Structure 1
């Protein structure tokens, strides 16, 4: 399997070849399993927590619990995105912007392997959102 350095050293003509698909599929599968393991562990920790009688301790525990639940929610929402990215690899759509069809780019995919938009399109959408908020 390719290393990250080999992946980055490949020419643009080799974009989304079989080796790159294999690299990203392995990366996504590993990330999905890590998230599932972490979710299981976090749920077990949350269910086994006991509460202190002291009001300050209770408040601190509740805040910690709220932050853990928020993190769990984010992780739970990430799993379907990972599964969709794996499906795009299998259908040979992975690595290309769903709006423009342009390559997303290896560096962007290494940072966010679930990305569906190229940097330019993502920036355009963020500018639109900002202008709607400002209006």
Structure 2
């Protein structure tokens, strides 16, 4: 992979991480600013349900931030874009769609088929 392409992916990964961190900060400040009291149990349950949903999304985003950091480390160690299963190059199209990926499309399909067979 050329240095120009690496920098392109580094920029993309950093932009995604900044956007995720910004959303996380909004969520935290929004939850600490909410001092609403819902006397109606239905309203309170609805608010709690929305809050739990938001927290689940933020947890997924937290995991994605970890994957982004790992992808940035792979860029630094020149292993970005190399399938960790077969050692072949991961296509640029796949990396653009999912820059945190560690598997080429063939190895990912194989992994998904194995998971499906095991019922995971």
Q: Does 1:117 align with 2:103?
A: yes
2:113: which partner in 1?
127
Q: Normalising by structure 1, what TM-score?
A: 0.84
CA distance in 1, matches of 2:37, 2:96: 41
TM-score, with length taken from structure 2: 0.94
1:65 to 43, 51, 54: 51
| RMSD, aligned α-carbons | 1.2
Q: 1 CA distance for matches of 2:37 and 2:90?
A: 48
- Where 2:87 maps in the other structure, the secondary structure is coil
Q: 1:107, CA displacement in angstroms?
A: 1.0
Match status 1:89 vs 2:89? no
Q: Verify the 8 A CA contact 1:51 1:61 in the aligned structure 2.
A: no
SS at match of 1:39: helix
Candidates 10, 31, 39, aligned match of 2:16: 31
Q: How many residues align?
A: 119
Conservation of the 8 A alpha-carbon contact between 1:96 and 1:117:
yes
Shift of 1:78: 1.0
The aligned counterpart of 1:18 is 3
Q: 1:70-109 CA distances to partner (integer Å, 9 max, x unpaired)?
A: 0110111111110110011111111110110111111111
